[in-house]
Amino acid sequence: MRPPTPQQTPPPWQPVKLADKAAVILIDLAVVLGLMWCCMSGLIVAMMGAGGDGGGLVVPLMIGLPVLAIVDAAVLGSTGCYVGGAIRRVHLVDVRTGGPIGFFKALLFNLILGTIVVVDLGLSAVSVNRELLTCQITGTRYIKLREDVSLPVGPVDRLKGMPVNVHWGEVIPTQEIGDAILGRHDPQPGQPGAAPPETPPQPPTAR
């Protein structure tokens, strides 16, 4: 009689498909835009009810929008997810620790992604690893946690999604373009991290 085969424990996290990343980003964007619309509508109604002409909305908006951005970054930086991530169990983690990215990195992530969200999703769709450029810049990665696992999960492999070179209708990933944009370079011989020089084969010695 064979002994029972021990069940393998599934990994604590899994890579996230581009479709899930896009869903998380679009859900979060819809939530933020919805909150902004509610705030602006409430302010307009309040101003009109008070007999104003709407010109007094500038100061509340100048205060409200930064407060909304701060709250968003605080939630994302401390929990690793916002509304979209909580729905789909997708977390944004620091690749060095596998934990939440912190307030300032979350603020930078939102600033960059909010500026180039359409371009970033388009580039990641045709890149080799389907990775967002924003994640490469901020040193973060989207992961899907196992149901019984919480952050941090330890260091996470950093994907190096290569930007693409569109040439005569063909999308050609080029490592050189990615290295140039992200400032990566291979160490030269003799520098730390460089591969040892190859030793040419020696001819056999006569006995």
More confident residue, 42 or 12: 12
Q: Is the pLDDT of residue 128 over 80?
A: no
More confident residue, 184 or 21: 21
User: CA 28, 70, 89: angle at the middle one, nearest 5?
Assistant: 35
Going from the C-alpha of 17 to that of each of 22, 35, 60, 176, the distances in angstroms are: 9, 28, 39, 25
Domain housing 34: 13-182
Examine residue 90 and state whether it is found in any structural domain, yes or no. Answer: yes
Examine residue 57 and state whether it is found in any structural domain, yes or no. Answer: yes
What integer pLDDT is reported at residue 193 of this predicted model? 46
Q: Which helix (H) or strand (E) holds 38?
A: helix 18-49
What integer pLDDT is reported at residue 165 of this predicted model? 43
Name 146's Cβ contacts closer than 8 Å, sequence gap at least 6: 10, 11, 12, 13, 14
Q: Is the pLDDT of residue 33 over 90?
A: no
Q: Is the pLDDT of residue 195 over 60?
A: no
Examine residue 204 and state whether it is found in any structural domain, yes or no. Answer: no
Rounded Cα distance between 111 and 66, Å, is: 12
Examine residue 141 and state whether it is found in any structural domain, yes or no. Answer: yes
Q: Region 139-149: what's the mean pLDDT?
A: 88
Q: Is the pLDDT of residue 15 over 80?
A: yes
Examine residue 189 and state whether it is found in any structural domain, yes or no. Answer: no
Q: How many CB atoms lie within 10 A of CB 76?
A: 24
| Structural domain total, the chain | 1
What integer pLDDT is reported at residue 78 of this predicted model? 93
Examine residue 196 and state whether it is found in any structural domain, yes or no. Answer: no
Model confidence pLDDT, tens digit, residues 145-171: 888 888 888 888 876 544 444 444 444
Position 189 confidence tier, pLDDT thresholds 50, 70, 90 = low
Q: Region 86-99: what's the mean pLDDT?
A: 90
The answer to whether the CB of 16 falls within 8 A of the CB of 143 is yes
Rounded Cα distance between 189 and 89, Å, is: 44
Mean pLDDT value across the chain = 75
Side by side, the strands of the sheet bearing 90-94 are 13-15, 140-145, 90-94
Examine residue 44 and state whether it is found in any structural domain, yes or no. Answer: yes
Which token pair is 8? Answer: 């393998």
Sign of CA dihedral 180, 183, 188, 193: negative
Q: Region 133-138: what's the mean pLDDT?
A: 86
The reply to whether the predicted model has a pTM over 0.85 is no
Q: Is the pLDDT of residue 174 over 80?
A: no
Examine residue 134 and state whether it is found in any structural domain, yes or no. Answer: yes
What integer pLDDT is reported at residue 157 of this predicted model? 80
Q: Is the pLDDT of residue 192 over 50?
A: no
Q: How many CB atoms lie within 10 A of CB 5?
A: 6
Q: Is the pLDDT of residue 73 over 50?
A: yes
The answer to whether the CB of 78 falls within 8 A of the CB of 18 is no
Q: Is the pLDDT of residue 42 over 70?
A: yes
